[in-house]
């Protein structure tokens, strides 16, 4: 991706055809299978699961085998191949997690797939003529979390048209300032606000998760690295040709059974929507999960990858395709990272999608998404095989901000009523009642908000920026609300107490037992599952 392309202003005709973040279908040029295909949401209302894992498998190839065979032979040459950008272009930072008893900390890496059409090769693989040279979009965004003890790995992918507030970002090359978005816009636009460092800043704003590194790759990188690996086995339960009478489809053609796909055919597999199951993005996501699982197993188990020539080719292609932060800008740093990732066995890898719900033609995170983010923040394995130790649980409850709090009487606290549930109306007057409890406790600046009733399962204290973190923790402490329920959020303008359905009555808050299970809506998939085979839609088969 060229820096000049990354700085161009977003083109409305390809991002937001109707000018609104939540209006109209997703852009077909950046969400099709390789032809002029209607975007998700425009063909029968299928649930939009987006292109979640298209580039992740290729990036993981580098991370898992790194440059072990060629790294020091071509050290300078490969280092020169690697492009770099600053890690975080936003103003607000998230503190690093507290080390565990052994002094270890988790590692969080944001994987970004750019739809850049800034070269003839990328244009041929990925889009229409009118998109050539336009500002790239972060159409694939996945957070890879490596546990502190290096026993497990969690992956959260975010749909590309998730509505978020992009924070203020400054372009590192020319100093252009991109002000914070007014209202919510699609998360994939963050890449056009100065580069991948703004996508990192957006994730940190939304999740409260400290991100250590990013890795970005484009269309051409997928093809070149998949080809260098030598093929990834995938399975279809019938003959498939992803092409209809109008030319819609990726062009993927396979016979029934298991086949190794590589190069452009691998990209076709990852982009196919027409032909798999019901033709929705959900089906495409399943195919992408299958590919990623298979690639990881192939890299770990296929003896041919020990060939120095194959590893050298993979390292060459991967370093050309990558843009990384300065913490990963050498072959040695990438190899060290790959060494860490290789400690995790496939059966301890859990892939998920951020739980979401429709907002018009777009989506937004749900409360289950916050549950998923919390599990990552607290380094809890998503596969459910690890139980937090008593010490870790106690630390999570007692953890407080390093930011000092203002005196109680000087802390302004808005209290809002979030007690409504699917079965029950909001508890009448609850915001006023809890605001009164706070005032009696010494928070004389507490007041009931005028917003309509919300629906929140658990009571939480939210704050918008780092300078108010200490105040938020002080409010939680005074009411007996656990520290894990103190959340940073761009949806509030000051310290805000959201009274949830777990505190519909009474003057004392009793925290419910914390649920550390992965939400079903995250659709977790285990990395060791080698039995998957995509179901082919009968309308796209051949004999």
The residues spanned by each domain of the chain are 3-32+51-379, 400-505
Could you please state the CATH topology (level 3) that the domain comprising 3-32+51-379 is classified under: Aminopeptidase (3.40.630)
What is the model's pLDDT at position 264?
A: 82
Please write the tens of the pLDDT for every residue from 507-520.
Answer: 999 988 888 999 99
Residues in contact with 159: Cβ distance below 8 Å, sequence separation at least 6, in sequence order: 48, 49, 50, 52, 187, 353, 354, 356, 363
User: Which ranges constitute the DSSP H helices of 208-355?
Assistant: 219-229, 263-271, 281-301, 308-321, 331-341
In the structure encoding, which two tokens stand for residue 325, read together?
A: 């932060």
What are the Cα distances from residue 169, in Å, to 60, 89, 92, 213, 543? 28, 5, 10, 17, 54
Give the integer Cα–Cα distance in Å for 349 and 372.
15
φ/ψ of 358, rounded to 5, equals -65, 140
What are the Cα distances from residue 262, in Å, to 308, 470, 528? 19, 51, 21
Asked if 486 and 463 count as a contact pair (C-beta separation under 8 A), the reply is yes
Asked if 297 and 275 count as a contact pair (C-beta separation under 8 A), the reply is no
pTM above 0.85, yes or no: no
DSSP 277: T
Q: Which of 195, 6, 169, 176 is nearest to 92 (CA)?
A: 169
Please write the tens of the pLDDT for every residue from 392-434.
Answer: 444 444 455 567 899 999 999 999 999 998 789 999 999 999 9
Please write the tens of the pLDDT for every residue from 135-161.
Answer: 788 877 889 999 999 999 999 988 878
Q: Which of 286, 268, 271 is nearest to 353 (CA)?
A: 286
DSSP one-letter string for 61-111: HHHHHTTTTTTTTSHHHHHHH-EE--S--BS---PPPPP-TTS---EEEEE
Q: Which residues of 22-42 are buried (b: 16+ CB within 10 A; e: fewer)?
A: bebbbbbbbbbbbbebebbbb
Per-residue pLDDT tens digits of the chain, which is 543 residues long: 444 443 333 333 333 333 333 333 333 333 444 333 333 333 333 443 334 344 455 555 555 444 444 444 557 888 899 999 999 999 877 878 888 888 899 999 999 987 655 545 544 544 444 444 567 888 778 899 999 999 999 999 888 788 999 999 999 999 999 999 998 999 999 999 999 999 999 999 999 899 999 999 876 666 676 676 778 899 999 999 999 888 889 899 999 999 999 888 888 888 788 999 988 666 776 787 788 778 777 766 654 445 667 667 777 777 888 899 999 999 889 888 988 988 898 899 998 889 988 888 888 999 899 899 999 999 999 999 875 543 444 444 445 556 789 999 999 999 999 999 878 999 999 999 999 999 999 999 999 997 766 788 889 999 988 899 999 999 999 999 998 889 888 778 999 999 999 999 999 999 888 889 999 999 888 888 888 899 999 999 998
Architecture of domain 400-505: 2-Layer Sandwich (3.30)
Q: Coil, strand, or helix at residue 324?
A: strand
Q: What's the length of the chain?
A: 543
Paired strand residues for 497: 415, 461
Please write the tens of the pLDDT for every residue from 266-291.
Answer: 888 887 889 999 886 667 767 877 88
């Amino acid at each position: 991706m060229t820096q000049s392309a990354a700085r161009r202003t977003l083109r409305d005709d390809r991002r937001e055809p109707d000018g609104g973040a939540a209006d109209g279908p997703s852009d077909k040029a950046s969400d099709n299978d390789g032809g002029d295909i209607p975007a998700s949401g425009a063909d029968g209302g299928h649930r939009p699961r987006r292109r979640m894992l298209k580039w992740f498998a290729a990036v993981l190839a580098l991370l898992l085998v790194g440059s072990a065979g060629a790294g020091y032979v071509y050290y300078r040459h490969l280092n020169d191949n690697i492009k770099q950008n600053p890690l975080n272009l936003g103003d607000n930072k998230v503190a690093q997690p507290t080390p565990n008893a052994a002094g270890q900390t988790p590692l969080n890496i944001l994987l970004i797939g750019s739809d850049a059409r800034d070269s003839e090769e990328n244009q041929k693989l990925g889009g229409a003529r009118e998109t050539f040279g336009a500002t790239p979009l972060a159409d694939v965004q996945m957070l890879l979390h490596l546990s502190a003890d290096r026993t497990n790995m969690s992956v959260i992918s975010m749909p590309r048209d998730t509505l978020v507030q992009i924070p203020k970002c400054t372009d590192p090359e020319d100093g252009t300032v991109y002000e914070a978005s007014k209202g919510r816009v699609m998360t994939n636009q963050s890449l056009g606000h100065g580069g991948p460092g703004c996508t990192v800043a957006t994730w940190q704003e939304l999740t409260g998760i400290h991100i250590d590194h990013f890795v970005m790759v484009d269309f051409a990188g997928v093809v070149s690295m998949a080809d260098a690996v030598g093929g990834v086995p995938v399975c279809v339960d019938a003959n498939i040709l992803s092409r209809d009478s109008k030319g819609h489809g990726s062009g993927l053609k396979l016979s029934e059974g298991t086949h190794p796909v590589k190069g452009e055919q691998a990209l076709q597999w990852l982009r196919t929507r027409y032909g798999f199951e019901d033709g929705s993005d959900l089906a495409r996501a399943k195919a992408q999960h299958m590919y990623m699982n298979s690639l990881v197993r192939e890299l770990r188990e296929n003896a041919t990858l020990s060939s120095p020539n194959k590893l050298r080719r993979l390292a060459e292609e991967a370093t050309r395709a990558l843009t990384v932060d300065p913490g990963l800008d050498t072959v040695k740093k990438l190899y060290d990272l790959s060494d860490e990732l290789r400690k995790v066995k496939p059966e301890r890898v859990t892939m998920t999608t951020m739980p979401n719900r429709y907002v018009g033609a777009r989506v937004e995170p749900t409360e289950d998404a916050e549950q998923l983010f919390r599990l990552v923040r607290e380094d809890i394995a998503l596969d459910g095989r690890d139980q937090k130790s008593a010490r870790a649980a106690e630390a999570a409850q007692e953890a407080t901000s390093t930011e000092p709090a203002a005196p109680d009487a000087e802390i302004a606290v808005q209290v809002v009523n979030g007690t409504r549930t699917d079965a029950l109306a909001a508890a009448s007057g609850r915001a006023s009642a809890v605001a009164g409890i706070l005032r009696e406790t010494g928070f004389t600046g507490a007041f009931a908000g005028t917003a309509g009733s919300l629906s929140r399962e658990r009571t939480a204290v939210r704050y918008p920026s780092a300078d108010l973190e200490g105040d938020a923790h002080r409010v939680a402490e005074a009411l007996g609300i656990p520290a894990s329920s103190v959340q940073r959020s761009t949806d509030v303008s000051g310290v805000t107490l959201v009274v949830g359905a777990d505190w519909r009555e009474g003057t004392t808050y009793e925290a419910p037992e914390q649920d550390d299970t992965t939400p079903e809506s995250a659709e977790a998939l285990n990395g060791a599952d080698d039995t998957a085979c995509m179901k082919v839609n009968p309308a796209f088969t051949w004999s």
